[in-house]
Amino acid sequence: MNKFEKSLFWLRRDLRLYDNAALYNALKESNSVHCAFIFDSNILDALNDKQDRRVEFIWESLLQIKKQLNKFGSDLIVEYGDPNIIIPQLVKKYQCDAIYMNKDYEAYANKRDTEILKKLKIKGFQYKDQVLYEENEILTQSGTPYTVFTPYKNNHLKRIFFEGITQFDCESLSSNYAKIDPVAMLSLDEMGFKISNLKYLAIPVGEAGGKLLIEDFKKRIHDYKLKRDFPFTKGVSYLSVHNRFGTVSIRQLAKIALEQPSEGASTWLSELIWRDFYFQILFNFPYINEGQAFKAQFNNLKFENNPDYFMAWKEGRTGYPIIDAAMRQLNQTGFMHNRLRMVAASFLVKDLLIDWRWGENYFANKLIDFDFSANNGGWQWAASTGCDAQPWFRIFNPILQSKKFDSEGRFIKKYVPELDVLTKNEIHEPWDKRKRDLINVKINLGVDYPMPIVDHSEQRLKALAIYSTKK
Ligand SMILES: Cc1cc2nc3c(=O)[nH]c(=O)nc-3n(C[C@H](O)[C@H](O)[C@H](O)COP(=O)(O)OP(=O)(O)OC[C@H]3O[C@@H](n4cnc5c(N)ncnc54)[C@H](O)[C@@H]3O)c2cc1C
């Protein structure tokens, strides 16, 4: 006998019907499960750009869920508004006596969920689903949170090997979805949004898209370690947006990595563990959510914050081809390769001498896979203000990074086509005096493509001076 007659399963960043912890428990413990998603107006109304790929990604993923539920005689209820108001209305309308959801660890969502659960007069259940290990599940021997990745990872791996990974078989319980009449789908227009270039980019969306990418990556995972640093090579999984919105299961991904006996697979598993690491940093050190540096001594670095430089960085016209290509990739697609995220972030902070929080905020608005904990972790790593970060005196040389990771300049040419005429020897620093005669014949530097806005060697020294006062 099931415990509850009717329950509500509230989807948020877990947009899939397979291996879903809260959904599984709802289906197991209830006779009839209603599934609902709310486009949260408190979040969406704050977005200035109304052609947001993320909103469209969610919308498309929900369409897939609706179709899946229709096969079981059910449907997904999709609403737009304040969940504080809508969730109690849905509970009342469908006479639910329990609500199920997976935990969302970001500050706003956490507060919202706690308030809603307190207000509802029914049973509420929250589950770990987004991560492998959460909050303070993995602590040092003295019971404190880890702030260095490698020992955290070692302990994490030990736990996975010892405990194994349990997945949730939602499919076997599909007869418990509520049988309801079809519910109309909200349009993007009704929420004030417009179609973006998501379809043109051919990013596979929803649970089906996640499955496609997983199958594709499984064939390449053994090469991950070798190929993951080269932005023009198909070396990474491109699953981050699916991890962000839960259109794939993190447990499934970890299992795939564990079952492959290759160096590529174990390196990839480490990346999944970085993701858990930053989530636990956010949980255990919530002050990072308030714009503070993880290491307090770096809170008030005297950055120059030149707004013209910031604009040039955002628009991909710094005169450093690899940086400009990276920023144009971000602007055009919402994605940036991990190596380039590190290089572009370092360049903003340590070459342009701009506060890392400005860059963090720009990425937050643009990245299709934006996740507060990973983004903040990445920025604080690059700015040397974070836990287990790049030491402050280690400064990426954007020209060497370009030569090493895009040696042929093929990635640069894709996003900075005005440099297409340059050879691989010219493209990384087109202002180089030794090659100027040859380059000048091909492009008009300063007109067709900008001269570099700063000199790396000079800026490096300035950055060291800024940081050395706080060491
Ligand atoms: C400045 C900066 C900002 C970043 N902002 C984000 C962000 O907002 N959202 C985001 O998901 N990642 C962020 N990252 C981490 C990383 O760049 C992306 O996860 C990765 O590029 C996504 O591509 P992929 O899915 O092909 O990754 P893969 O290399 O295939 O890795 C597999 C998965 O592991 C996770 N992962 C990989 N690297 C990291 C990492 N360093 N930290 C946390 N998780 C990781 C992602 O979920 C990724 O999908 C940032 C890194 C930097 C340096």
**Ligand 1 atom 43: the closest Cα is on which residue?**
275
Asked if residue 273 has its Cβ within 6 Å of ligand 1, the reply is no
Instruction: Give the pLDDT mean for 415-439.
Output: 90
Please work out, in degrees rounded to the nearest 5, the angle formed at the alpha carbon of residue 209 by the alpha carbons of 242 and 365. Answer: 40
Instruction: Give the pLDDT mean for 337-349.
Output: 98
Q: Which CATH number does 296-468 carry?
A: 1.10.579.10
Asked if residue 228 has its Cβ within 6 Å of ligand 1, the reply is yes
- Half-sphere exposure (CA, 13 Å, Cβ side) for 16? 28
35 close to 77: Cβ distance less than 8 angstroms: yes
Q: Which atom of ligand 1 is nearest to the CA of 345?
A: 1
Asked if residue 362 has its Cβ within 6 Å of ligand 1, the reply is no
How do residues 53-103 score in pLDDT, each as one tens digit? 999 999 999 999 999 999 999 999 999 999 999 999 999 999 999 999 999
Sheet containing 30-40, strands listed edge to edge, beginning at the edge strand earlier in sequence? 76-81, 30-40, 4-11, 98-102, 123-127
Q: Identify any residues that bridge with 254 across adjacent strands, giving them in sequence order.
A: none
Asked if residue 346 has its Cβ within 6 Å of ligand 1, the reply is no
Confidence class for position 433, pLDDT limits 50, 70, 90: confident
Instruction: Report the residue among 338, 340, 388 best suited for mutation to probe ligand 1: largest number of ligand atoms under 8 A from its CB.
Output: 338
470 has pLDDT over 80: no
Reduced to 3 states, what is the DSSP secondary structure of residue 328?
helix
| pTM (whole model) above 0.85 | yes
How do residues 218-240 score in pLDDT, each as one tens digit? 999 999 999 999 999 999 999 99
116 close to 83: Cβ distance less than 8 angstroms: yes
| CATH homologous superfamily of 4-129 | HUPs (3.40.50.620)
Asked if residue 387 has its Cβ within 6 Å of ligand 1, the reply is no
pLDDT score recorded for residue 435: 81
Asked if residue 236 has its Cβ within 6 Å of ligand 1, the reply is yes
Q: Is the dihedral of CA 145, 150, 152, 155 positive or negative?
A: negative
Reduced to 3 states, what is the DSSP secondary structure of residue 178?
coil
**Ligand 1 atom 8: the closest Cα is on which residue?**
370
87 close to 99: Cβ distance less than 8 angstroms: yes
> Which run of H or E residues covers position 64?
helix 53-71
356 close to 345: Cβ distance less than 8 angstroms: yes
Asked if residue 271 has its Cβ within 6 Å of ligand 1, the reply is yes
Task: Select from 242, 167, 171 the least CA-distant residue to 211.
Answer: 242
Asked if residue 384 has its Cβ within 6 Å of ligand 1, the reply is no
Confidence class for position 389, pLDDT limits 50, 70, 90: confident
**Ligand 1 atom 39: the closest Cα is on which residue?**
271
Instruction: Report the residue among 212, 226, 275 best suited for mutation to probe ligand 1: largest number of ligand atoms under 8 A from its CB.
Output: 275
Asked if residue 336 has its Cβ within 6 Å of ligand 1, the reply is no
2 has pLDDT over 70: no
DSSP letter string over 212-279? HHHHHHHTTGGGHHHHTT-TTS--S---HHHHHHTSS-HHHHHHHHHH--SHHHHHHHHHHHHHHHHH
Asked if residue 303 has its Cβ within 6 Å of ligand 1, the reply is no
What's the gap between Cα 133 and its chain centre?
18
Could you give the percent of the chain with pLDDT greater than 90? 95
Amino acid at 417: P
Tell me the CA distances in angstroms from 237 to 58, 211, 265, 287, 326, one per residue in order: 20, 12, 11, 31, 18
Asked if residue 369 has its Cβ within 6 Å of ligand 1, the reply is yes
Amino acid at 263: E
Query: Looking up tokens 């990245």, which residue turns up?
Result: 367
- Distance (Å) from CA 275 to ligand 1 centroid: 7
How do residues 187-230 score in pLDDT, each as one tens digit? 999 999 999 999 999 899 999 999 999 999 999 999 999 999 99
29 has pLDDT over 80: yes
Q: Which atom of ligand 1 is nearest to the CA of 242?
A: 49
- Distance (Å) from CA 115 to ligand 1 centroid: 31
pLDDT score recorded for residue 442: 87
**Angstrom distance (rounded) from CA 102 to CA 86:** 18
Instruction: Give the pLDDT mean for 114-136.
Output: 97
Asked if residue 363 has its Cβ within 6 Å of ligand 1, the reply is yes
348 close to 313: Cβ distance less than 8 angstroms: yes
Tell me the CA distances in angstroms from 267 to 147, 246, 248, 300, 338, one per residue in order: 20, 22, 19, 35, 14
- Distance (Å) from CA 108 to ligand 1 centroid: 22
- Distance (Å) from CA 219 to ligand 1 centroid: 20
Instruction: Give the pLDDT mean for 251-258.
Output: 98
Could you give the percent of the chain with pLDDT greater than 70? 99
Annotated domain spans of the chain: 4-129, 131-166+207-284, 296-468
pLDDT score recorded for residue 187: 97
450 has pLDDT over 80: yes
Asked if residue 272 has its Cβ within 6 Å of ligand 1, the reply is yes
Question: Radius of gyration of the chain from Cα atoms?
Answer: 24
* Fold for the domain defined by 131-166+207-284: 1.25.40
346 close to 459: Cβ distance less than 8 angstroms: no
**Ligand 1 atom 51: the closest Cα is on which residue?**
378
Instruction: Give the pLDDT mean for 112-132.
Output: 97
- Distance (Å) from CA 236 to ligand 1 centroid: 10
345 has pLDDT over 60: yes
Amino acid at 291: G
25 close to 177: Cβ distance less than 8 angstroms: no
Mean pLDDT, the chain, whole residue set: 96
- Distance (Å) from CA 374 to ligand 1 centroid: 7
Q: Identify any residues that bridge with 123 across adjacent strands, giving them in sequence order.
A: 98
268 has pLDDT over 80: yes
322 close to 428: Cβ distance less than 8 angstroms: yes
Please work out, in degrees rounded to the nearest 5, the angle formed at the alpha carbon of residue 124 by the alpha carbons of 123 and 130. Answer: 160
- Distance (Å) from CA 338 to ligand 1 centroid: 6
